[in-house]
Amino acid sequence: MSRAVFAPSMNVAELRESATIAVSARAKALAAQGRRIVDLGAGEPDFPTPKFICDAAHAAIEAGKTRYTQVEGILPLRQAIASQANERRGSHSAIDASNVVVTTGSKQSLFNACFTLFGAGDEVLVPTPAWTSYYEMIALARAVPIAVRGARERELKVTADDLRAAATSRTRGLFLNSPCNPTGAVYDLEELTEILDLAAHEGWWVISDEIYRRIVYDGDAPSLLDVRTAGERLVVIDGVAKAYSMTGWRIGWSIAPTAVARAMTAFQSHTTSNASTPAQYAALAALTCSEAEPAIRAMVSEFRRRRDGALRILRGVGADVIEPRGAFYLFARVGDASAEPEAGTACAQRLLEEHGVAIVPGAAFRAPEWVRISYAAPEEQVLAGVSALASILESASR
């Protein structure tokens, strides 16, 4: 029997592995070999899922809620999502359950929206640096991701003028992410309004990834639903992974115009069908039980303390680092791209091999002179890892 030769289809021939997941996998592999590794590459809170959420999942299982649900999710959860969104909206028109599709994590919501809204030859603007999967999702839809760079003096955020300059006659939409992964930057209401005014004028679809919106340190992180209604060319993505420390439960959702929600439901019916049934009931508890808010506040308070400690160390050696207003990442410049194109990759490799500290090179976010450090790890590990990075940066500046 001849050996099969694998040649990937054109659907995935250019697909690249998630760089953030690859870093975490490498760190775990080294740890399995007996090395002491500090993993500051992970994009998930290190806190346990609150007990009341786990209890709700146990109760659902005991009650026999382990069968298929509607593809778009159980009605009580979709109603709770709609209700929570409406609490912010004041006089804007109401969102209801028909606008909501529950998915296996917010990553599936992002892909559902991208695959439903864009197609071959469409150009989609991506404020850059940005989470690595946006570019790949757009490419999987046969569309073309267009990186739009933000200026350092604006915390690498883009403006409406930046987007306008990058657009062509083939532009069909854009991705937004606030608070931003990897920088922690937060778009304020005026910035979002200007961007959405441009998108409305041009007839673009906007996909807004708001998974970090509850993890914010100074004031509020506005939702795009504070600016526009769900009936417009807008899809808002969120989930329970980050704010409720439920990454492995895999529950996300989209809020979209009803026709788009129906199309995404039809698409999902042929891919994953419904999200995990017990996990949906756990998410329902997360959104509706009074214990949730104190748990979120306590987690954010701890993230703030780690952030502040890490910033002191990096600023002590004169590092160029963006102060995150949200999420749980530090984004630091470790070289000059014109002099050393892969400065971030070289720094991350050295940090891992010499100090046993895993971080993500900025090339994963199309910013090769930067690195991303997650402070979603115990404080002593965060400070030790950042101190090791600071020593490398200090020695390089001498």
Distance CA 122, CA 327 (A): 30
Lowest mean per-residue pLDDT among 10-19, 135-144, 303-312? 10-19
Q: What pLDDT score was predicted for residue 19? A: 67
Q: What pLDDT score was predicted for residue 91? A: 43
Strands 357-358 and 252-255: unpaired
Q: Does position 92 have pLDDT exceeding 60, yes or no?
A: no
Higher pLDDT, 113 or 228: 113
Cα 269 off chain centre by: 24
The SS3 call for residue 327 is coil
Structural contact between residues 103 and 275, judged by C-beta atoms closer than 8 angstroms? yes
Could you tell me the two tokens for 233? Answer: 């060319």
Q: Which residues contact 34 (CB under 8 A, 6 or more apart)?
A: none
Q: Does position 328 have pLDDT exceeding 70, yes or no?
A: yes
Q: Which residue has the tokens 């506040």?
A: 297
Helix (H) or strand (E) holding 108: helix 106-117
The SS3 call for residue 95 is coil
pTM over 0.75: yes
Q: What is the mean pLDDT of the chain?
A: 93
Q: What pLDDT score was predicted for residue 2? A: 59
Residues paired with residue 239 on neighbouring β-strands, in sequence order: 252
Give the mean pLDDT of 247-261: 97
Q: What pLDDT score was predicted for residue 93? A: 58
> ∠ at Cα 100 (233, 74), nearest 5°?
170
List, in order of start, the domains of the chain with CATH numbers.
19-48+293-396 (3.90.1150.10), 66-288 (3.40.640.10)
* CA neighbor of 230 nearest in space, from 198, 203, 254: 254
Helix (H) or strand (E) holding 317: none
Lowest mean per-residue pLDDT among 239-243, 256-260, 328-332, 336-340? 336-340
120 φ, ψ (degrees, to nearest 5): -55, 125
Q: What pLDDT score was predicted for residue 50? A: 98
Q: What pLDDT score was predicted for residue 230? A: 64
* CA neighbor of 249 nearest in space, from 211, 215, 269, 275: 275
Lowest mean per-residue pLDDT among 38-42, 133-137, 241-245, 334-338? 334-338
Higher pLDDT, 91 or 369: 369
Q: Does position 340 have pLDDT exceeding 70, yes or no?
A: yes
Q: Give the pLDDT band of residue 228 (cuts 50, 70, 90).
A: confident
> ∠ at Cα 22 (121, 138), nearest 5°?
10
Q: What pLDDT score was predicted for residue 336? A: 82
